Structure 1
Amino acid sequence: MFGRRQLLAGAASLAATRFLAAARAAPADHVPHLSADPFALGVASGEPATDGFVLWTRALGLIGDTRLGYEIASDEGFRSIVRSGRVDAPAARGGAAHLEVRGLPPGRPFFYRFHLGDAVSRIGRTATMAADPQQLRLALTSCQHWEHGWFSAYRDMIEQGVEAVLQVGDYIYEKSFGSGPDVRSFGVPDPQTLGDYRARHALYRTDADLAAAHAAMPFIVAFDDHEVENDYVGEHGGVTAERTAFLRRRAAAWQAYFEHMPLRPSALLSNGGLQLYRRFRWGRLATVHMLDTRQHRSIQPCSDTKRGGQVVRDCAAVDDAAATVLGAQQEAWLDAGLMRETAGWSLIAQQTLFARLALPQGPDARWSDMWDGYEAARMRALASLSRPAVRNAVVLGGDVHSFWLNNILADFDDPQSKVVASEVVTSCLASRSGPAALFDGAAARNSHVRFHDNAHAGYALLDLVPQRLDVDLRAVSSLTDPAAQCVSLERRSIEAGRPGFA
């Protein structure tokens, strides 16, 4: 195991694209001479199903297409191998391999590894979903800034026996920001090209705790904004004003994101977009509806003079019926899925704060980059959450660098209106706290906010059984101490049939 100082030195070298010497591989079945470990970025699994999953790695140091060997076993010693074969690692995708596995029995752990020549990857562990589980443990995480802190919270997820990680965005950060102690540095300018974004993702994978988490648990992922640039939406840059330049940057960032995530091969679309809204069903217990609130969104309201998120006042555009967070196709997909919901718990995993948030700037003030900037879109989503088939709706989010437990009301203008759903928002895993100018005193101004903490980083641990969903907000004791532990900051429960928090 590398020490932290050695890890940082290696990471900086990788970010400068000098991590491995190049080795030519042609034709695809030819085994190249390797001068260093091609599996330095580790392994990962994702997209869990009752009969399979997706396995990922990215082979470094290769020029040209190649094929990697793989083995899947029912035991860690690989004495009982259930699958083996070869998977493509195309040069056009940076040597990334996405292996979609099907036909395995439900509810079983599996171990896997990749081969190239005499090089063997670390061993990963994953599992198929149980056909009809009676309990489920998930982790909700977001916002991990390389410079701001160690990713120690992932170690706690492994210790807690998390079955799947819901990573709802800001997996990487494209820029430095904020004052405060930094534990390490990007060491290079903000990424612009495909090579730049590949290097940024590769840098992240050198964090030992993040790499271990990917090897230990399946990840279910969707991006937010910092995977490209701050506060972009759809085809509108949040920083890059010139359209052609922004679309070029976005295309590079999206491809690099795909190349480093355990997504299905079909997730990368022919137009360069990513299919990120999808469902995961744990029998009759729970459905996770993973949403994408960046790729298809309308531009933020009243953003004519300033790009991206901002406090807007007296802004009629927040009520624009044509404005959307999800896009028409995804809205229809979500509504159809909730109309046919069969699980006891409906988890809506998306990127940001869903509930109304009265701000200190005045009664008509709204932060335009959250759902508050899209009132008509939120009302359409509330109508879907109110479908008769939906028994227990819980909205999950991140983005705002603070913990929130909220009651989702049918009408936020009426504090006595019906509670439609519960909301759990995780803080940043490793970054600065949310803006005090917006969030201080939030609970006093918003009676539907039942818990708020803007002082800690960490993640949300979710335990589901048919009768109850337990929420444990896990706060990391220090972002600057690599040996930091997580402690329970707040524990609350949602009882089946009784939405909201007391």
Structure 2
Amino acid sequence: MVSRRALLGRTALALAASRFLSPVTAIAVQPQPYADGDPFMLGVASGDPRPDGFVLWTRPLGLSGTATVGVEIADDDGFRRIVRSGSVTASPARGHAVHVEPVDLDPARTYFYRFHLDGATSPIGRTATIDPQATRMRLALAACQHWEHGWFSAYRDMVAQEINVLLHVGDYIYEKSFGTGPDVRSFGAPDPFTLDEYRVRHALYRTDPDLQAATAAFPIIATWDDHEVENDYASLQGSVTEDPAAFVARRAAAYQAWFEHMPISPRRLTPHGAADIVRRFEWGALASLSVLDCRQFRTSQPCGRGGQVIADCAEVFDPVATMLGLEQEAWLRDRLANERTRWSLIGQATMVSRLPLPGGGDARWSDIWDGYAASRDRLIAALRQPAVRNAVLLGGDVHSFWANDIPSDPERMEGPVVASEIVTSCLASRSGPEELFTGIQGRNPQVRFHDNDNAGYTLLDIDAERIDGRFRAVRDLTDPNSASFDLRRFAIEDRAPGVRI
């Protein structure tokens, strides 16, 4: 006979399961065949936090067909107080990736989660809902992690720093090997082109123990840059894959594999090989974060295919050219026109500040915002709207640390400062091209700090009065046990645009 207490407990779990968003359903977990070993070898992750929920992710390996994966969310890491439970279908069409979106959770709360499959249990993940009354937050900014070039020990430091959320602005994987120097490990496979090949590349990254520990410790908000697909591609134009049809197929495969390995809502993988990753987050009146897509909708780079040094190229100033696409530009402008927060954070892939190259004249790199001057002017105009109190641009891509002031006329590098820019270095890769960056502070006086010798990430402590920042550098990328250290501290004051070093 089932006791009254046990019956009430089962009823509570069933009711909790019914409160999941689709595709979770309240059905029993059935045993499913999988290959020998742990089906949860890729770990777990959470992302895109909201005041009432987040997205949970895992991808069981070795499944031969459709499987049912159980999910539990609890108030405690011992799972004595389970607040949601249910199950979700893992389909081979999505590489058996599991994306779960619980709703109606309490704001400003820490939760623990785990997955079940045929007697196997995943590692326990820790995440949190957004505090709509937040008065402070700690955000990490990361980009550019090359599997072969260095160990991911910066993630271990993020866990120790107890961040609230990680913003990753692109090059989460690399599709190719490049550069000279000692490699710490190998891809063990040629460049990916098909969906299965991109799945293998992402899964390889997910086996890194420091990356796994980090994704299980805090939520991530991610956008992409180019290496998730192909170096320096622009919209539907490849830089390496010149055949248009072949590149469209490659991009669609890469986008799906990225989605299958990220804690992002299932509805964001759209038909016909596209994805909607432009989104916004708010921490009450403290801060907003607009996350942009700098690859999918941009026009081709000026005066040539892909990124290159160009000079005296009239296409740079083409008013039709765009880094974001006109629809995304309008989306950002409208959001900022109705801004309600103290800090307006803009997460995007690369450097906005003018980067004049050696040799004088109009030499510039075509793949960053310098190649899209009119689009950058429209971005700056959006940041200058009256509702925007403190605009802070957050980027990556160039494999070096930067703290920049953004003037009202970034092309001429003059005018009042209207925004601050923080560009993080590569988390694990080789440094940027020294021949392009040497002497930059003499060519652009708005550059307050630049370091091209170190890899790592950026830590931002945000409160109502200021942002206190630290560039956290890894001492030795070739040492898996290497520690991180404060390379440089900086601050951004409320209503005082520009970076204080």
Shift of 1:440: 1.2
What letter corresponds to residue 88 of structure 1 in structure 2? T
Separation in 2, partners of 1:265, 1:302: 37
Instruction: Tell me which moved more, 58-67 or 80-89.
Output: 58-67
Structure-2 residue corresponding to 1:8: none
Question: Residue 437 of structure 2 aligns with which residue?
Answer: 439
| Residue aligned with 1:338, SS | helix
Taking a change above 3 Å as real, the CA distance of residues 38 and 463 of structure 1, as seen in their structure-2 partners, is: same
2:482 to 461, 481, 484: 484
Structure 2 partner of 1:90: 91
Does the Cα contact within 8 Å between 2:153 and 2:483 map onto a contact in 1?
yes
Alignment of 1:135-284 (within 5 A): 135-284=136-285
Q: Secondary structure at the match of 2:378?
A: helix
Distance 1:240 1:399 in 2: 21
SS in 2 for 1:500: strand
Tell me which of 310, 314, 330 is aligned to 2:328: 330
**Distance in 2 separating the partners of 1:108 and 1:494:** 28
Is the contact between residue 174 and residue 191 of structure 1 (CA under 8 Å) also seen in structure 2?
yes
Q: Contact (CA 8 Å) 1:28, 1:66: kept in 2 or not?
A: no
TM score, norm. by length of structure 2: 0.93
Q: Cα gap change, 1:445/1:498 in structure 2, threshold over 3 Å: closer, same or farther? A: same
Structure 1 gap ranges (5+): 1-26
Return the alpha-carbon distance in structure 2 between the equivalents of residues 85 and 415 of structure 1. Answer: 56
Q: Deviations over 1:187-214 (max 9, x none)?
A: 1110011110000000001100001100
Cross-structure match for 1:290: 291
Distance 2:374 2:384 in 1: 15
The CA distance in 1 between the partners of 2:418 and 2:240, in whole Å, is 36
Question: Structure 1 pair 114/238, CA: closer, same or farther in 2 (3 Å)?
Answer: same
Cα displacement (A) at 1:491: 0.4
Unaligned runs of 5+ in 2: 1-26
Equivalent AA in structure 2 for residue 195 of structure 1: D
Question: Alignment partner of 1:501: what SS?
Answer: strand
Q: 1:365 aligned to 2:366?
A: no
Deviation at 1:270, TM superposition (A): 1.6
Task: Summarize deviations over 1:28-50 as a string: whole Å, max 9, x none.
Answer: 96422342211110000001000
Is 2:102 the counterpart of 1:101?
yes
- Corresponding residue for 1:310? 308
- Kept in 1, the 8 Å contact 2:169–2:224? The answer is yes
Q: Tell me the alpha carbon deviations over residues 248-275 of structure 1, each in whole angstroms, 9 at most, x when there is no partner.
A: 1111111000000000010100222111
Q: Which amino acid aligns with 1:346?
A: S
SS at match of 2:69: strand
Code of the residue aligned with 2:137 in structure 1: it is L
Letter in 2 for 1:411: D
Question: 2:345 matched to 1:344?
Answer: no
Q: Deviations over 1:379-432 (max 9, x none)?
A: 000000000000000000000000000000101355551101000000000000
The change in CA–CA distance for 1:362 and 1:131 in structure 2 (over 3 A counts) is same
The answer (yes or no) to whether the contact 1:237–1:243 under 8 Å persists in 2 is yes
Q: Distance in 2 between matches of 1:28 and 1:104?
A: 23
Encode CA deviations 1:257-304: one digit per residue, 9 max, x unaligned.
00000000101002221111100100000000000000101000001x
Q: Give the TM-score taking structure 1 as reference length.
A: 0.93
Quote the residue 2:6 is aligned against. none
CA offsets, 1:476-500, max 9 Å, x none? 0010001101100010101100000
User: C-alpha separation between the residues in 2 aligned to 1:310 and 1:322?
Assistant: 20
Q: Does 1:115 align with 2:113?
A: no
**Root-mean-square deviation (Å):** 1.2
Aligned to 2:60: 59
CA separation in 1, counterparts of 2:156 and 2:428? Answer: 13
Give the letter aligned to residue 192 of structure 2: P
Deviation at 1:162, TM superposition (A): 0.6
Alignment match, 1:37: 38
Query: Match of 2:388, SS?
Result: coil
* Partner Cα distance (1:42, 1:330) in 2: 33
Residue identity over aligned pairs, in percent, reads: 60
Residue of structure 1 in register with 2:50 after alignment: 49
Provide the C-alpha distance between the structure 1 equivalents of 2:280 and 2:381, rounded to a whole number of angstroms: 19
Aligned to 2:447: 449
What SS does structure 1 have at the residue aligned with 2:415? coil
Tell me what 1:21 maps to: none
